[in-house]
Amino acid sequence: MQTFAKVINVPDYPPREKHPTILNAFDELKPGEKIQIVNDHDPRPLQYQFMMERTDQFTWEYLEEGPETWKVAIGKK
């Protein structure tokens, strides 16, 4: 069973705060730590943002892939 520094339920946040909240939580992680995000759709655009802005700094693991809930573990390398 994985342990997470923080679990973020993405639908709880207004649209303009979603990605900044997740990125800030990621930036606060120590190497080897993970956050989990829970979303109501595939967070693929967020993964692309991580690929562009946090290149080679993160791991991305789908824990659940819909149809109603997506869970992703995002780790800091």
Q: In what order do the strands lie in the sheet with 6-9?
A: 6-9, 34-39, 70-76, 58-65
Q: Tell me yes or no: is domain 6-76 CATH 3.40.50.12780.
A: no
Q: Exposed, middle or buried by CB within 10 Å (0-12, 13-18, 19+), for 11?
A: exposed
Q: What CA–CA distances, in Å, run from 53 to 3, 20, 23, 49, 76?
A: 25, 12, 10, 6, 13
Tens digit of each residue's pLDDT (9 = 90 or more) over 34-73: 999 999 999 999 999 999 999 999 999 999 999 999 999 9
Its pTM stands at: 0.96
